[in-house]
Chain A
């Protein structure tokens, strides 16, 4: 087997082990379950709350938005935090010290994030199916297929963002603080939790630049009845645009992320890790 293929396999195994370790850790597990529970409870509370002019309940409208948000959160914010943390603790340097280790590391993180997103989707969908009436009524096999396609494409669009942010910021604390602000802004402009037609025009423009808006739109188009299109911009699901914009984000990200990752990896050395460690210990 050639060394590149081998590294991809080793990386996939790495991602699997990391996800399994995460599921065995009580704090991580609590984080996943509580996160999903909050959204499911909000949907349950809104199960009879019909939105005027759409013929659907708020619960149904929120569900695709929650899937989009949760995917973006794991793949961009969560990943960025992990990369920044593992840069500081020397995991990246270790990857650099073995042949094709960086490739294995990137494949590992991508695998882990994919598994995490899949797990989150199940953790949200299963209880929601039981507690929210009519969740899958309008989807049909075609809708489910479109949902999976949008989730996958959204994942490919968001993962490079996670790597790039994790590579650019110096410390996981910086990613945490600034990242949360950015996330809050994104939630507002991308219309995942309430109709985008209700926010100001400039925010709609910004929102339409983000992959999160297009993921949300794509998922609503896949899961909601046609009557719900009334509250969308231009009263259209814009399915081709959804696939086009997410595809563009994915292509640009996949092309750009390796360049930035290589630049970041070049800077890593034992003394850089040591310096980070000393800084961290001083803070504590």
Chain B
């Protein structure tokens, strides 16, 4: 998906303070129309808080937030109709049937329908898409955990949103459900031009879905770029491992292809060759470790000044 130039989310200096603790300490981020952006970060980094501010569910302590041209804290119902939120259901609406529930929430979007963008999605079609068609007449409380999450996604997109928020949407999915979910996200992004911001702990998922990855740590964005760009920022390295002369070798290089070509040209007895690009996991762990080190340094700095006196 090629992202447009139109900015859908614009955040600068976003702060959130609970008591004496800054959960968000000046977050800056932009999301352009059509982008799929994944927000990564350790537990307690402020991912959920950030998303809830953008959804308009939480008032920030400071900073400027613009989502689809409005401040979410005071946005109108028309804005609400353009924003899809995938919530994590628990035991709400247990007695409703899947079809009736999706129908009910879709019905709120009827007045916002326009030619070329009919809203809501027809229920049958939508249930087909999230793989819940056979469960249409089943009670919500009888769904499995994975089916429930898919129902949450269906309700989140029933109004054909321009912008979709998902907070850890695939927690508890089995591999097949996860794959189906990824296909769904790709389709939303490619076919419907939906801008998507999601959080996850699954790095493979982030790599598969994201046009761009943001890493949030300790209330700040510490990295911003595609998976490849982030990898280059960390080390830009490919790891090459091989055995020659009965000995195991490891070499890290900027250009894995060139190095391997030369290696094979020079040596005859290269066995067990392994060429491995830096994974997002390596990148992520390095970035978070760097941010931790920086934090420790910052905390230590004033004490050093004290000591110098």
Contact = CB atoms under 8 A, between A and B. Distances in A.
B80 A89 contact: no
Given A10-B107, A99-B81, A3 B90 contact: no
A96 B58 CA distance: 12
Interface of B: 48-49, 51-52, 55, 57-59, 77-78, 80-81, 85, 87-93, 95-96, 100, 104-105, 107-112, 155, 159, 167
A91 B111 CA distance: 22
Contacts, number: 92
B87 A94 contact: yes
Contacts of B100: 17
A2 B108 CA distance: 11
A9 B103 CA distance: 13
A99 B110 CA distance: 10
A101 B108 contact: yes
- Closest 9 A-B residue pairs measured CB to CB? A269-B57, A21-B95, A99-B81, A3-B111, A99-B77, A91-B92, A97-B85, A89-B92, A98-B108
A271 B90 contact: no
Contact of A1 (B109, B110, B155): B110
9 contacts: A1-B110, A6-B107, A21-B95, A90-B92, A99-B81, A99-B159, A269-B57, A271-B49, A277-B90
B111 A98 contact: no
Given A1-B110, A270-B167, A14 B48 contact: no
Interface string A64-107: 00000000000000000000001001110110111111001000
Contacts of B88: 90, 270, 273-274
A268 interface: yes
Nearest to A274: B88
Contact of A94 (B91, B95, B155): B155
A100 B77 contact: yes
A266 B56 CA distance: 9
Interface residues of A, number: 36
A238 interface: no
Interface of A: 1-3, 6-7, 9-10, 13-14, 17-18, 21-22, 24-25, 86, 89-91, 93-94, 96-101, 104, 266, 268-271, 273-274, 277
B262 to A, nearest CB: 53
A100 B81 CA distance: 9
A89 B110 contact: no
A99 B78 contact: yes
Contacts of A13: 104, 107
A167 to B, nearest CB: 17
Contact of A99 (B48, B55, B59, B80): B80
A10 B104 CA distance: 7
A94 B105 contact: yes
B108 A99 contact: yes
A113 B132 CA distance: 31
Contact of B109 (A96, A99, A266, A273): A99
Contact of B57 (A89, A91, A270): A270
B108 A270 contact: no
Nearest to B103: A13
Name the residue among B51, B81, B87, B155 with the largest chain A CB count within 10 angstroms.
Answer: B87
A99 B58 CA distance: 17
A96 B57 contact: yes
Nearest to B152: A94
Contacts of B107: 6, 9-10, 13
B108 A6 contact: yes
A268 to B, nearest CB: 7
A89 to B, nearest CB: 4
A33 B49 CA distance: 46
A275 to B, nearest CB: 11
A93 B111 contact: no
Name the residue among B87, B89, B92, B159 with the largest chain A CB count within 10 angstroms.
Answer: B92
Given A1-B111, A90-B87, A93-B87, A98 B105 contact: yes
A94 B108 CA distance: 12
B245 to A, nearest CB: 58
A97 B81 contact: no
B111 A89 contact: no
Nearest to B95: A21
A17 B80 contact: no
B57 A268 contact: yes
Nearest to B88: A270
Given A89-B92, A94-B155, A99-B80, A269 B52 contact: yes
Given A7-B108, A269-B57, A97 B87 contact: yes
Contact of A3 (B104, B112, B167): B112
